[in-house]
Amino acid sequence: MIGTQVLASPTMLFAWLLYVPMLLWAVWRCPWVELFTDTRRQHLLFGTVFALFLLWLLRRDFNTGVSYHFLGMTAVTLVLDWPLAILAGCVAQLGMMATGHQDFAPMGVNGLLLVVLPVLITEGCSLLVERAQPKSPFTYIFCSGFFAAALAALLCLLIAMGVLWHDGLFAMPEWLGDFIGYVWLIIFPEAFINGIIVTALVVFCPEWLETFNRTRYLSEPWADDGDT
Indicate if the pLDDT at residue 182 is higher than 80.
no
The Cα–Cα gap between 22 and 213 comes to: 26
Q: Is 102 left (phi over 0), alpha (psi -120 to 50) or beta?
A: beta
- Give whole-number Cα distances, 192 to 94, 177, 196, 203, in Å: 26, 23, 6, 16
pLDDT score at 177: 65
Q: Where are the beta strands (DSSP E) in the chain?
A: 59-61, 67-69
Ranked by mean pLDDT, which of 19-28, 53-62, 173-182 comes out on top?
19-28
Q: What is the mean pLDDT of the chain?
A: 89
The Cα–Cα gap between 79 and 41 comes to: 10
Q: Could you tell me if 85 and 119 are in contact, meaning their C-beta atoms sit under 8 angstroms apart?
A: yes
Ranked by mean pLDDT, which of 150-154, 158-162, 211-215 comes out on top?
150-154
pLDDT score at 217: 85
| pLDDT tens per residue, range 126-155 | 999 999 988 889 999 999 999 999 999 999
Indicate if the pLDDT at residue 17 is higher than 90.
yes
pLDDT score at 93: 96
Instruction: Taking residues 116-131, report their average pLDDT.
Output: 95
Q: Could you tell me if 65 and 6 are in contact, meaning their C-beta atoms sit under 8 angstroms apart?
A: yes
| pLDDT tens per residue, range 27-38 | 999 999 999 999
| Residue predicted with more confidence, 215 or 43 | 43
Q: How confident is the model at residue 226 (pLDDT cuts 50, 70, 90)?
A: very low
pLDDT score at 145: 94
CA 81 to chain centre: 11
Span 4-217 CATH architecture = Orthogonal Bundle (1.10)
The Cα–Cα gap between 226 and 8 comes to: 71
Beta bridge partners of 60: 68
| pLDDT tens per residue, range 61-97 | 888 888 888 999 999 999 999 999 999 999 999 999 9
